Amino acid sequence: MTLSFTEHLEQRLRESPPKQKGERTRLRLRIATAKSLERHGYHAMRVTDITAGAKVAEGSFYVYFTDKTDAALSVLSELLEDFLDLAVKSSSHRDPFDAIRATNRRWLSVCRANAGLMRCILQLGDEDPNLAKLAQRANRLWYERVAQSDAKRRRSPKGPAAALLGAYLLGGMMDELVRKLIIYPDPRFAELLEELKADDNAVADAASIVWLQVFHPEMKAPAGLPRAASVLAEWMGMRA
């Protein structure tokens, strides 16, 4: 599956276009909205940017959407409710660290491919309670899945609440990591990563070391890690 939500929408229009002309026009407007959000951001985006991108008359826009906010919410809601979960899913791995690493690497890759849209979720989420709730729901469903998997593995009746708390805390770490790495890059953090020669995958691997310590404290960190993950694992006493 493509990492880019805009490309995902374009693929849908290309491979399985809606039968009704009006629905095809609406989808073209949504694609143009996604591109404008990615390029300009929510506040700077104009309706004329959308209509120019979709190659439709400005008046036609208002047949399908009330205003630019309505169009933006249509795009960002689908991104949150459907696309992110599907895009981040990775193939199954038997080794716990490989499974954690694959998910975290995929998450950073998806956020990198949709950096502008992810920024717009933060921008518009402050103004629209419904979008904020969708973002919280998407996170909660992911955390609950992690907690249920851990409880099943441990076969412990005390597991779910503690595991869910752990998932919330680590999920918050990943959200903040995306902010500092991709959405609103932190120059000092960038300097640290440059010193460690750490790309996105190395950062994901380092984060995965923390996940492993919380959910699989009995395990040691694997060999062959990028430097950033390796020095963190050694500092945490996780190297064999």
Predicted confidence pLDDT, tens digits, the chain (240 residues): 778 999 999 999 999 999 999 999 999 999 999 999 999 999 999 999 999 999 999 999 999 999 999 999 999 999 999 999 888 876 566 789 999 999 999 999 999 999 999 999 999 988 899 999 999 999 999 999 888 888 877 766 555 788 899 999 999 999 999 999 999 999 999 999 999 999 999 999 999 999 999 999 999 999 999 999 999 999 999 865
Contact at 8 Å (CB) between 161 and 167?
A: no
Q: Give residue 106's identity as a one-letter amino acid code.
A: R
Give the pLDDT confidence score for residue 232 in this predicted structure: 95
Q: How many C-beta atoms lie closer than 10 Å to residue 13's C-beta? A: 14
Looking at CATH, the fold of the domain delimited by 5-67 is given as Arc Repressor Mutant, subunit A (1.10.10)
Residue with tokens 């209509």: 51
The secondary structure of residue 202, as a DSSP letter, is H
Contact at 8 Å (CB) between 17 and 24?
A: yes
User: In the chain, which segments carry CATH 1.10.10.60?
Assistant: 5-67
216-232 burial, b at 16+ Cβ within 10 Å, e below that, comes to eeeeebbeebbebbbbb
131/112 Cα distance (integer angstroms): 21
What is this structure's pTM?
Answer: 0.91
User: In the chain, which segments carry CATH 1.10.357.10?
Assistant: 71-235
Of 121, 47, 54, which is closest to residue 84 (Cα–Cα)?
Answer: 121
Give 24's contacts (C-beta < 8 A, 6+ positions apart): 13, 17, 18
Query: Three-state SS for 239?
Result: coil
- Judge: domain 71-235, CATH 1.10.357.10: yes
Cα 155 vs. chain centroid, distance in angstroms? 30
